[in-house]
Structure 1
Amino acid sequence: MLFLVISTPRPERPTTLIDMRSRYWDWMQPLLDKGLCRSVHARVGRGAVALFDVDDTATLHRFMNEWADIIPAHMDVYPLLDVDAAKAFLNSQTRTEV
C-alpha cells in the first residue's frame, strides 16, 4: 500500500532542531534500505515528504508515530495507487453512451 506523507513541523527555530533533524535522517535510512519508504525529500523551508510502501495501515501508523517522536509535526496522509493499479482500474471501467 502506498501512502504519501507530508510533514509540517511545529514552528520552532530550525537551529534548535539540528540534532533532531539528523536523528530523523538516521531513522529514515533503514526504511529506505528495506524499501518500506520508496523516497523521501526535504521540503524547502521546513518539513519532509515521504512515499511509504507498507503492508498495512498499522505499519504506517507506527512509522508516523516514530517520526513524530523525533520531530513533532502535523502530517497529511494521502493513500495512493501505483501506476499499474490505476491503469487496471481504468481498464475495468465501462463507458456508457448517453
Structure 2
Amino acid sequence: MIRHLVLFKLNDGVRRDDPRVVEGVAAFRALGGQIPELEFWECEWNISDRPIAYDFAINSAVADTEALKRYVEHPAHQAGVTLWREFATWVIADYEF
C-alpha cells in the first residue's frame, strides 16, 4: 500500500469562504467516490492555527505505484488540481506502508 498525503496552503489573501476555494474543496471531497483506485480517502481543513500550519489536508491510500499513477492522471483529480492551482500551493509525500 502507498499512503498519499497532501498539505495545501492558501495563497496570501485567500480565505476559506472564497467561492473558488469552496468549489475546490467540493471537488476534492468528491474524489473518494469517483476514483476506484482510492482504497482510503479523507480530506479536511486543518484545525491548527499555528503560523507554520498548512490549511487543508488530504490523506489517502492506493494499492501500489500503478494505482497511484492512475489516480494522479484521473480526469476528476486533474480537474480538482486545476481549481486549486488558482488559490493555493501544496506539498506531497507518498510512502509505502
Q: TM-score, normalised by structure 2?
A: 0.59
Give, in whole Å, the separation in 2 of the partners of 1:9 and 1:57: 25
Q: 1:58 to 1:74 in 2, by over 3 A?
A: farther
Residue 91 of structure 2 corresponds to residue 79 of structure 1: no
Task: Name the structure 2 match of 1:48.
Answer: 56
Q: Please identify which structure carries the higher helix content.
A: 1
How many residues align? The count is 80
Q: For the aligned residues, what is the CA RMSD?
A: 2.8
TM-score w.r.t. the length of structure 1 is 0.58
Gaps (5+ residues) in structure 1? 83-98
Give ranges in structure 2 of 5+ residues lacking alignment: none
> Over alpha carbons, which structure has the higher Rg?
1
2:79 aligns with 66
Instruction: Give the fraction of aligned pairs with identical amino acids, expressed as a percent.
Output: 8
Query: How far apart, CA to CA, are the structure 2 residues paired with 1:69 and 1:2?
Result: 22
Residue 85 of structure 1: aligned partner: none
- Paired with 1:71 and 1:14, the residues of 2 have a C-alpha distance of 13
